[in-house]
Structure 1
Amino acid sequence: MTYSARALAVLLSLGLLGATPGAQQGAAPQPPEQPPRTDQEQPPVIRTGINYVRVDVIATDNKGNPVLDLVPEDFTIHEGGKLQKIDSFTLVTIDPIAQAEERQPAIRTLVDEEREAARPDVRLFVILLDDYHVRRGNDMAVREPLIRFVENQLGPADLVALMYPLTPVSDIRFTRNRDSLIGAIKQFEGRKFNYDPRNVFEQQYAFYPAATVERIRNQVSMSALEAACMQMGALREGRKSLIYVSEGFTGVLPAQLNDPVAALPGMNNPYRRNPMAPQASDRMRFDAQSDMNFDMRRVFDTCNRQNTSIYPVDPRGLSVFEYGINEGVGLETDSTDLRSSLDSLHILANNTDGRAIVNRNDLDVGMRQILRDSSSYYLLGYNSSEAPTDGKFHEIKVNVKRRGVSLRARKGYWAYTEEDAARALAPPRPEAPSAVRDALAGLIGPPGGRPTRHWVGAEPGEHGTSRMTFVWEATAPQAGARRAEPAARVMLTAVSGDGDPLFRGRIPAAGNPSKGNAASFDAPPGALQLRIVFEGEDGQVLDSSVEEMTVPDFTLVDVSFATPRVYRARTARDVQLLKSQPDAAPTTDREFSRAERLVVRAAAYAPGGVTPDMTARLLNRAGERMSDLPVQVAPNGYGEIDLPLSALAAGEYLVELTATGPSGSTAQELIAFKVGR
């Protein structure tokens, strides 16, 4: 694989791509949230350390039924031929029938998700719909088995997340809302060998050769497998299951499909639909398979460290051919590639203690086995006597002394390297300063279904008052949200702490050139209450809120900042246009794309009308300095910062503003923003 292809694949897998919509919890009414469980069932005791190894073991009798009465003395664990001492032993059993008698809490927040995932009687599943490796037509064949699995086989307490290869880790959300999962499954559409770009990021490589695009897709899908494992591992220990809907990976494209331009099928390809086209050499296949095995090893490593098993589900069923007759691929090449794709699915399952559900037309039987494996198992743990830090694979053998009992357990683990061990043993990084944490907390968007975002700023006014500015922007309705139309205007009422009215009026929507989406009023320092009513086009009330805030007193400090204003720009011309509009309304959004520029406009004040010196720095989410930012002073005394975002990775950042007065006193402001779209 070329360096550029690998680099682009890594870029895609880091979540910088526009994600294909996954399952979102719908807005259907949910039963009242239940308090956390206080029963006597305790979660397994989990020990951790760089040398601590966890192994989940499935024990069955000759009829395939689980054996649940084993004790630690019945097991032996050997690593590299040496007997290991079992330090922890837990039997995990799940009874969906008993769970059905209790009302399970709905998952509304990340706190709900983390609390419920930590319960030992809750099974965790991720369904990865790999549209890059599923043919159109086969996607429709797998929908019904998946829907039956969700409707009929999942237990009431089970948590499930649905994702695609381009789903960012931050968008992997677990839910008990079965309707939302089924709705997302019904939308699944395979795109194997279809290279039409569906977002701006796919357009970057759509005109590469088809073989290069396939390698990129392989990398992206494997990165998605790793991301799903890490997300589940972050929620809890114990066995977790990843249901991977895919037709497997192939390292070499046949000449008939290896178009010079992937997005233009058949163009300048002399072998298109030619059954006599030359076959790939053995050396080419060997090199491609070696690269693919190396990439899959990273998946095994991540899954085993996170105690996650992969269950590949092949939607082809009992497959005979890999390619359609219309594609003109020879029988020998077809057979080789079919075998290679099936082998990749078996390798994923065998190396993570899963099961490959392949070569069967009745997928329901195989998917029922996924639940059986997750319902009854033993969780064993030991501290490796070898304490390896060589980064190599170490074989594990788990045996049982009782006759007639069969065991399934993972075959080994990849040890940490010395660098990994040093990072794991290093003391935790200091917590970010409270001011940084408070600024980042402001990035949390409005609750789902809120029709607007708004921003409130303050600057010195006349006669000791503060000049307050209220700006709002309509948000797009979310999928499943209860509102069906955007807000058209806002009714704002501002009341002082003494109950005196300061402002009351409607603020028209942005796009009205005469008035815009902002309003300003004077307020005395102290408490301020804002009553906000969101109205539709016909005047109906969509939502409302009441907010309390404190108006700053600019007369009591030597140096102070007016509330900084943030603007969005795409080009240098947009920046120049903003500079010519000193009264332009700022944006209320704090999420930007890497194709945009962040423009900050801030004013600092000192006694006697002196303009303080202003400096700026770019910080990461830990509050650590990344770089200094130039501050340009505008004719009106405002400091302006123009920050291109193309060089920043997806994540959260802060702009730190510092103003220094003539006496040496300082003031500071932090502006948090997110780069992701």
Structure 2
Amino acid sequence: MSERPHMSSTSWRRSQPITSGFGAGWVLVIFGVLAFLLPPGGTAQQPPDPVPPVGVAPAAVEAENDQELQTIFRSEISFVRVDAIVTDEDGNALVDLTADDFEIFEDDIPQKIESFKLVKHTGVFDPDLPPPGTIRNEFDLEREAAREDSRIFVFFLDEYHVRDYNAMRMMQPLVDFVETQLAPTDLVGIMYPLTPLFDVTLTRNHEQIVHALRQFKGRKYEYDVLNGYEAAYAHYPTTDVEKIRNDVSLSALKALAMKLGGLREGRKSIIVLSEGYTDYVPPQLRDESAGGGGRRGAMRYNPLAGNSRMEESTRLFQDMGMRANLVYTADIANRNNTSFYMVDPRGLAVWEYDMSQVPIDHETDQSMLRILQDTLYVLADESDGRAIVNRNDIGPGLAQIVADQSSYYLLGYTSSEAPTDGEFHEIKVEVNRPDVRIRARKGYYALTEDNATRLMAPPKPEPPSAVSRALAKLAEPTRSRLVRTWVGASRGDNGKTRLTFVWEPIASGQSRRDESASQVMLMAMSDNAAYFRGEVPSRPGGTLPLAEFEADPGELELNVAIEDEYGDVLDRAVDELVVPDFTGTDVALSTPTVLRAQNTMEMRRIAADPDALPTAGRYFRRTDQLLLRGEAYAPGASPVDVTARLLNREGASMMPLPVELSAGGAYELSVQLSPFPRGDYLVEVSAASGDGVATTLVAFRIQG
């Protein structure tokens, strides 16, 4: 069975980069999930297949190998790493300990230390390592983060849980920390609650970090809408908005910890600027619409409204739920060897609610202050970090963050019990020396039996290579792109191949570029001839522009210049492709054209128009309907049978698709997207004549 390549599948190389950014973000997401399920560095490696001994049945050897691999894998998922900071009574790090000086207990059961390492940072690049490089992409980030001479710090500026005036008073101490305490080797990053994970990176350009810190503004108890995400819930009740903000911030912390855990196994520090977390909102502040426009809370002007047994019970239950969420967040940090250093920007706080808010009784105010400060201690203590709370001078506390990463021991053991109960298991680290202080993670939550079974299951088979190549074409162009393009091929006259070039502008909301494309200058040529040169203008009424021309089979180069309405070139691209040959004796398929209809009436109009122009995009909504058209070619006058089916992203068949075949081998088929959830799909079209079969794939994504 042969596969006819899509003409639109060729990769772009550009004089001004407008290539797709797809791939790195998804790789990070997948890596983060694995980092969550597995302890950092706990990936199993499959040993080479041994040679079967003489006289032993291959099946017996295979069963023995399977049992050995299962044992190895189970030991890997039961492997636990613990970093221990050991100091004397004066706080000075002890760096002369050996593995024999340590003892580790899990649930009071002694464990055998299998890995031991002293990690010590001097703030100077190691001359034995390659020179440090610039971080321009995720590959550079992973390379630099893996360096043993670099520490990792990330500021999490929680704008939802910091008042603006507290943010302002904290900026200079944080700037001083970056400028005086961090070394040139240190990798530093900044994240906000709504920062996409793939936008979080690390840098050694500390001036850039200082600039970002100075721009930080707190928004606690402020509900002005700054983006589309916030607009969706702006008029929810205040209690709901605060819960959403808590979920956003804690989810971001979890994701950040997983990303850092995927970079390396050594200790990482997240410096969290926050005044604490609670789902409880006093009755005086419970407005029907946080963004305004609704009725105020009925108890708004009753200062004693929160001083009742019912409100005390509400606070208690809300606090219990929040603590469970915080412990879960810290557990994810522990799994990824990341510590939270919680910085309370209020300094020596004496109240929670200030004069800018309606009066709230002293008892409720002090209760909330204690609850909020306790949440900072929970995140810090459970992740082996520190809480810098009730301090007007946070400088010494910040200096201790650097000291914690400058010298520590990294220990590893395989749990003798190998628990899969999903429960918390306490870890104790002891040193056989007197008068020392030890800080280490307090324990971990074991995998559940279901998770362990899932991890030990054999890997799923890879999708067929043709499916993978088709799905790779779904890479969305970077937001610097101005247009989408598509190139299709069909049989032409006199042994040539007819090519169709289509372009469409990218909506301004999907592109960071302010310019708008008005026309495209296209030049198609090979080493032997030039086939097309001219403008492909934008047409009024939303009709897609196109250019059609014939070319000889073989290599072809398409030079594309994207111009504005004044003829100025905004961007350029070069597409190198291979023009298929439809004159042979094999069964062949033209490149399918995809037409999109947003409703039934539009679908009828498109179906009745044989010259309807295809769309260059492959991202659709569930309300869309697709019509695919193409041609099947068989040698001579042989009849050809065309079939189609819908595939999932693994290449498995989901359902057959009816095909209408016309005289001459032309066919069309429709796909209703409404029954299917969001995700990636493929339409497989096959043509058969005699013993010959040709297949082509069209990938698309349902995104809304």
Please indicate, yes or no, whether the TM-score normalized by the shorter chain is above 0.5.
Answer: yes
Paired AA for residue 353 in structure 2: Y
Change (3 A) 1:376 1:582: farther
Q: 1:93 aligns with which of 107, 111, 120?
A: 120
For 2:393, the equivalent position in structure 1 comes to 362
Give yes or no for the alignment of 1:345 onto 2:376. yes
Change (3 A) 1:672 1:142: farther
Give yes or no for the alignment of 1:307 onto 2:337. yes
Pairwise CA distance, 1:383 = 1.1
For 2:290, the equivalent position in structure 1 comes to 262
Q: How does 1:540-579 map to 2 (within 5 A)?
A: 540-556=568-584, 559-566=587-594, 579=607
- Kindly indicate whether the alpha-carbon contact (under 8 Å) linking 1:219 and 1:295 is maintained by their aligned counterparts in 2: no
Give yes or no for the alignment of 1:407 onto 2:415. no
- Kindly indicate whether the alpha-carbon contact (under 8 Å) linking 1:125 and 1:159 is maintained by their aligned counterparts in 2: yes
CA distance in 2, matches of 1:515, 1:549: 26
Deviations, residues 306-333 of structure 1 (Å, cap 9, x unaligned)? 1111122223233222112232222111
Pairwise CA distance, 1:349 = 0.7
Q: 1:222 aligns with which of 224, 246, 250?
A: 250
Give the count of matched residue pairs: 626
Change (3 A) 1:603 1:142: farther
Deviations, residues 474-523 of structure 1 (Å, cap 9, x unaligned)? 55899999x87455443321113x42000112333x35569954322111
CA distance in 1, matches of 2:514, 2:228: 28
Pairwise CA distance, 1:70 = 1.5
CA distance in 1, matches of 2:293, 2:393: 34
CA distance in 2, matches of 1:645, 1:334: 52
CA distance in 2, matches of 1:485, 1:179: 31
Q: How does 1:278-677 map to 2 (within 5 A)?
A: 278-279=306-307, 280-325=310-355, 326-446=357-477, 449=480, 451-474=482-505, 485-496=515-526, 498-508=527-537, 510=538, 512=540, 517-556=545-584, 559-566=587-594, 579=607, 583=611, 585-591=613-619, 597=624, 599=626, 601-607=628-634, 608=637, 612-620=641-649, 622-625=650-653, 627-628=654-655, 630=657, 637-644=667-674, 647-648=677-678, 653-661=680-688, 663=690, 665-674=692-701
Paired AA for residue 355 in structure 1: R
CA distance in 1, matches of 2:624, 2:564: 32
- Kindly indicate whether the alpha-carbon contact (under 8 Å) linking 1:603 and 1:637 is maintained by their aligned counterparts in 2: yes
Q: Tell me, what secondary structure is at the counterpart of 2:374?
A: helix
Of 603-612 and 386-395, more deviation after overlay is shown by 603-612
Change (3 A) 1:563 1:415: same
Deviations, residues 354-384 of structure 1 (Å, cap 9, x unaligned)? 1112222334443333222222211100111
**Normalised by the size of structure 1, how large is the TM-score?**
0.82
CA distance in 1, matches of 2:627, 2:176: 52
Q: Tell me, what secondary structure is at the counterpart of 1:96?
A: coil
Change (3 A) 1:51 1:185: same
Pairwise CA distance, 1:347 = 0.1
Pairwise CA distance, 1:266 = 6.3
Paired AA for residue 133 in structure 1: H
Q: Tell me, what secondary structure is at the counterpart of 1:440?
A: helix
Pairwise CA distance, 1:233 = 1.9
Change (3 A) 1:639 1:558: farther
Paired AA for residue 364 in structure 2: T
Pairwise CA distance, 1:410 = 0.6
Deviations, residues 182-201 of structure 1 (Å, cap 9, x unaligned)? 55545544333334454554
Among all aligned residue pairs of Structure 1 and Structure 2, give the percentage whose two residues are the same amino acid.
44
Change (3 A) 1:480 1:86: farther
Pairwise CA distance, 1:245 = 2.4
CA distance in 2, matches of 1:507, 1:292: 59
Q: Tell me, what secondary structure is at the counterpart of 1:553?
A: coil
CA distance in 1, matches of 2:404, 2:510: 34
CA distance in 1, matches of 2:656, 2:449: 37
CA distance in 2, matches of 1:617, 1:144: 59
- Kindly indicate whether the alpha-carbon contact (under 8 Å) linking 2:627 and 2:668 is maintained by their aligned counterparts in 1: no
Q: Tell me, what secondary structure is at the counterpart of 1:613?
A: strand
Change (3 A) 1:116 1:46: farther
Q: 1:60 aligns with which of 64, 80, 87?
A: 87
- Kindly indicate whether the alpha-carbon contact (under 8 Å) linking 1:596 and 1:646 is maintained by their aligned counterparts in 2: no
- Kindly indicate whether the alpha-carbon contact (under 8 Å) linking 2:490 and 2:631 is maintained by their aligned counterparts in 1: no
- Kindly indicate whether the alpha-carbon contact (under 8 Å) linking 1:559 and 1:604 is maintained by their aligned counterparts in 2: no
Q: Tell me, what secondary structure is at the counterpart of 1:316?
A: coil
Change (3 A) 1:73 1:562: same
Pairwise CA distance, 1:673 = 4.2
- Kindly indicate whether the alpha-carbon contact (under 8 Å) linking 1:74 and 1:402 is maintained by their aligned counterparts in 2: yes
For 2:5, the equivalent position in structure 1 comes to none
Pairwise CA distance, 1:548 = 1.6
CA distance in 2, matches of 1:386, 1:181: 45
CA distance in 1, matches of 2:626, 2:391: 57
- Kindly indicate whether the alpha-carbon contact (under 8 Å) linking 2:497 and 2:579 is maintained by their aligned counterparts in 1: yes
For 2:132, the equivalent position in structure 1 comes to 104
CA distance in 1, matches of 2:208, 2:484: 26
Change (3 A) 1:343 1:538: same
Q: Tell me, what secondary structure is at the counterpart of 2:385?
A: coil
- Kindly indicate whether the alpha-carbon contact (under 8 Å) linking 1:654 and 1:673 is maintained by their aligned counterparts in 2: yes
Structure exhibiting the larger radius of gyration computed from Cα positions? 2
Deviations, residues 378-418 of structure 1 (Å, cap 9, x unaligned)? 11001112221221111111112233432211111111111
- Kindly indicate whether the alpha-carbon contact (under 8 Å) linking 1:311 and 1:355 is maintained by their aligned counterparts in 2: yes
Deviations, residues 592-620 of structure 1 (Å, cap 9, x unaligned)? 6x676473534241435967434231413
- Kindly indicate whether the alpha-carbon contact (under 8 Å) linking 2:150 and 2:186 is maintained by their aligned counterparts in 1: yes
Q: Tell me, what secondary structure is at the counterpart of 2:113?
A: coil
Segments of 5+ residues of structure 1 without an aligned counterpart are 1-24, 26-43
- Kindly indicate whether the alpha-carbon contact (under 8 Å) linking 1:604 and 1:612 is maintained by their aligned counterparts in 2: no
- Kindly indicate whether the alpha-carbon contact (under 8 Å) linking 2:642 and 2:661 is maintained by their aligned counterparts in 1: no
- Kindly indicate whether the alpha-carbon contact (under 8 Å) linking 2:102 and 2:429 is maintained by their aligned counterparts in 1: yes
RMSD: 3.6
Segments of 5+ residues of structure 2 without an aligned counterpart are 1-20, 22-39, 45-75
For 1:193, the equivalent position in structure 2 comes to 221
- Kindly indicate whether the alpha-carbon contact (under 8 Å) linking 1:449 and 1:478 is maintained by their aligned counterparts in 2: no
Q: 1:252 aligns with which of 280, 283, 302?
A: 280
CA distance in 2, matches of 1:94, 1:596: 56
CA distance in 1, matches of 2:192, 2:294: 28
CA distance in 2, matches of 1:153, 1:574: 64
Give yes or no for the alignment of 1:123 onto 2:151. yes
Change (3 A) 1:460 1:228: same
Paired AA for residue 253 in structure 1: V
